[in-house]
C-alpha cells in the first residue's frame, strides 16, 4: 500500500532543483567491532543486550548475512560466532529469564523463516533454537514486540516485497513454537522495523517512500487503509532514500525519539515521539575511528553502559569500512544528544 502524493503541474515553468539535505552535525564513534569475515555487502543489523548488573559487560550482536551471527563486547571485540546461512535483521527480548534472539532467515528466498537463539550471557554465545517457517517470500526485516498486558512475545518479519508477517513466538517449551497470526502490506520494498513496547505501535520503513505506523496487536486492522498510517516521508532533505534501519529512544509513557538510517546521504534522522515530528539529524564522523557510510541496520539502548556510554549506546552498521570488510560502529548517545541539543 503506497501513498500517492498529489502532483502540481506548472506549464511553462522549469523544474526547480531539489533542496540539499538538512544539516547533520558529526558525532564521533567511540569504538568499532572487528570486521566481519566475508567481503562486500555482508554486515547488516545489530541488537544490544544491556547487562543491568554490570553494564560494562553488555553485549552487541551483529549479523553477517553471508555467514552467520557475531557477539561482541563493548570494546568491539568478537567474543563468539555462530554459523548460519543468510541471516539479515536481528532483535532480542528477555522472556522468562532467558534472552531470546530472533533473526530474519533468507536462506530460502521462496520461504521465509525466523531463526531463534538463546543468548548465553555468561559465555557470550548464542545457542540455536531452530529455524521456523513463516510464510512465502524472502525475509528481510525483523523486529520483536513484548505485549504489555500478558508479556506475550511477537515478531514481525518484513518481506522484500513489502509484506509484513506477524508471528507469535511461544518459548515455554524447550523448542519454541512460531505461528503466523496475520499479514500487513506495504506497496514496495521495505526492511527496517521497530516496535514501541510501551504503546504497542509498529514502525516500518518503506525504503523509497517513508515511514509507516501500525498497531502491533494482532487483533488490530490488517491490510486496510486504517491499518497503516504514514508518519514521515522520504523527502530528499530530512530523510534520503533508502530509509533503512529503525531504532527507538523511549522517554516517559510515549515520548522520546524514533531514529532512522537515512542511507542515501550517510546520516541518521530523528523524529520526536509520539507525534513523529522531525527533530534533527547527525552523521557518524570526525573522530579517531572512521565514520559510517551506507548504513543498513541500527540499534539504540538507553541507560548506563559505563564511562564511555553513560546515557546509552547507539550502534550502526558501516557499509563502507574500506580497506577492511564491513563492521559496526559504537556511538555515545550522550554525544548525540549534545550535538543536537536534545533534552
What the block records as the C-alpha cell of 13 is: 515553468
Residue with cell 559496526: 328
pLDDT in tens, 95-144: 999 999 999 999 999 999 999 999 999 999 999 999 999 999 999 999 99
Phi, psi at 131, each rounded to 5°? -100, 135
DSSP string of 163-202, one letter each residue: EEEEEEEE-SSSS-EEEEEEEEE-SS-EEEEEEETTTTEE
Q: How confident is the model at residue 220 (pLDDT cuts 50, 70, 90)?
A: confident
Among the listed residues 104, 115, 168, the one whose alpha carbon sits nearest the alpha carbon of residue 138? 104
Cell numbers at 82, concatenated: 555462530
- Which pLDDT band holds residue 325 (cuts at 50, 70, 90)? very high
Q: Are 72 and 60 in contact (CB under 8 A)?
A: yes
Domains for the chain: give ranges and CATH numbers: 26-340 (2.120.10.30)
Contact present, 114 and 142 (Cβ < 8 Å):
yes
Distance CA 17, CA 10 (A): 15
Name the least confident of 168-177, 197-206, 279-288, 331-340: 168-177
SS3 316: strand
> What's this model's pTM, rounded to 2 decimal places?
0.93
Cα(120)–Cα(105) distance, rounded to whole angstroms?
Answer: 21
pLDDT confidence tier of residue 225, bands split at 50, 70 and 90: very low
d(CA 277, CA 123): 42
Cell reading at 279: 527533530
Q: What is the pLDDT of residues 148-197, one digit of tens each?
A: 999 999 999 999 999 999 999 999 888 899 999 999 999 999 999 999 99
CA–CA dist 25, 282 (Å, integer): 5
d(CA 159, CA 173): 28
Amino acid at each position: 500500500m503506497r501513498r500517492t502524493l498529489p502532483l502540481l503541474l506548472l506549464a511553462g515553468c522549469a523544474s526547480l532543483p531539489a533542496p540539499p539535505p538538512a544539516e547533520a552535525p558529526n558525532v564521533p564513534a567511540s569504538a568499532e567491532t572487528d570486521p566481519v569475515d566475508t567481503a562486500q555487502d555482508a554486515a547488516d543489523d545489530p541488537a544490544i543486550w544491556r547487562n543491568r548488573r554490570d553494564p560494562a559487560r553488555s553485549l552487541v550482536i551483529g549479523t553477517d548475512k553471508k555467514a552467520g551471527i557475531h557477539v561482541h563486547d563493548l570494546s568491539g571485540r568478537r567474543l563468539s560466532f555462530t554459523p548460519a546461512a543468510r541471516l539479515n535483521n536481528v532483535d532480542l527480548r528477555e522472556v522468562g529469564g532467558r534472552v531470546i534472539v530472533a533473526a530474519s532467515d533468507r536462506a530460502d528466498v521462496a520461504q521465509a523463516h525466523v531463526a531463534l537463539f538463546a543468548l548465553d550471557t555468561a559465555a557470550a554465545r548464542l545457542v540455536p533454537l531452530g529455524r521456523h517457517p513463516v510464510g512465502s517470500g524472502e525475509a528481510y526485516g525483523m523486529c520483536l514486540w513484548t505485549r504489555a498486558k500478558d508479556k506475550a512475545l511477537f515478531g514481525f518479519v518484513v518481506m522484500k516485497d513489502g509484506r509484513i508477517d506477524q508471528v507469535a513466538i511461544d518459548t515455554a517449551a524447550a523448542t519454541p513454537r512460531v505461528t503466523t497470526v496475520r499479514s500487513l502490506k506495504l506497496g514496495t520494498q521495505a526492511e527496517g522495523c521497530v516496535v514501541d513496547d510501551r504503546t504497542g505501535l509498529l514502525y516500518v520503513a518503506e525504503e523509497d517512500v517513508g515511514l509507516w505506523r501500525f498497531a502491533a496487536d494482532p487483533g488490530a486492522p490488517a491490510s486496510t487503509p486504517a491499518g497503516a498510517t504514514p508518519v514521515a516521508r522520504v523527502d530528499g532533505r530530512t530523510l534520503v532514500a533508502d530509509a533503512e534501519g529503525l531504532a527507538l529512544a523511549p522517554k516517559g509513557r510515549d515520548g522520546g525519539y524514533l531514529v532512522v538510517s537515512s542511507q542515501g546521504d550517510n546520516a541518521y534522522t530523528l523524529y520526536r515521539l509520539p507525534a513523529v515530528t522531525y527533530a534533527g539529524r547527525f552523521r557518524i564522523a570526525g573522530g579517531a575511528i572512521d565514520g559510517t557510510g551506507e548504513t543498513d541496520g541500527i540499534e539504540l539502548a538507553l541507560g548506563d553502559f559505563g564511562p564511555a556510554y553513560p546515557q546509552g549506546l547507539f550502534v550502526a552498521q558501516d557499509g563502507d569500512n574500506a580497506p577492511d570488510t564491513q563492521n559496526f560502529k559504537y556511538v555515545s548517545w550522550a554525544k548525540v544528544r549534545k550535538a543536537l541539543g536534545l533534552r
